[in-house]
Amino acid sequence: NAGVTQTPKFQVLKTGQSMTLQCAQDMNHEYMSWYRQDPGMGLRLIHYSVGAGITDQGEVPNGYNVSRSTTEDFPLRLLSAAPSQTSVYFCASRPGGEIYEQYFGPGTRLTVT
């Protein structure tokens, strides 16, 4: 199993550009989430999904869209990048049931100039 994969690892955008951060997992996990980590801070939840076709907002959803058309993939779209979205983005997944550990991807470091 590759686990949770994220692409790209690094990205530089100009203000106003849009892009999609990719996240995929091959563990057939039910739950998937996106977090952002700003310098010196813990992770904050952007969006999450409890299954294919079902998504919901987290703590900091503004400026981001998600969709979950398959169990495996959970892309995060930045609609119009702003410098405030400069951050490290982590995707995570979790199986359903009574296994509570979230498995994190390696992260994408995004800089918006």
Partner 1 sequence: AQKITQTQPGMFVQEKEAVTLDCTYDTSDQSYGLFWYKQPSSGEMIFLIYQGSYDEQNATEGRYSLNFQKARKSANLVISASQLGDSAMYFCAMDVNNQGGKLIFGQGTELSVKP
Q: Which residues bind partner 1 (CB under 8 A)?
A: 30-33, 35, 40-45, 48-50, 58-59, 88, 90, 92, 94, 96, 100-104, 106-107
Intra-chain end-to-end CA distance of the chain, in Å = 36
CB nearer to partner 1: pick between 64 and 90: 90
CB nearer to partner 1: pick between 43 and 76: 43
Residues 85, 59: Cα–Cα separation, whole Å: 14
- Tell the smallest beta-carbon distance from residue 9 to partner 1 (Å): 10
CB nearer to partner 1: pick between 12 and 16: 12
b/e per residue 48-59 (b: at least 16 CB within 10 A): bbeebeebeebe
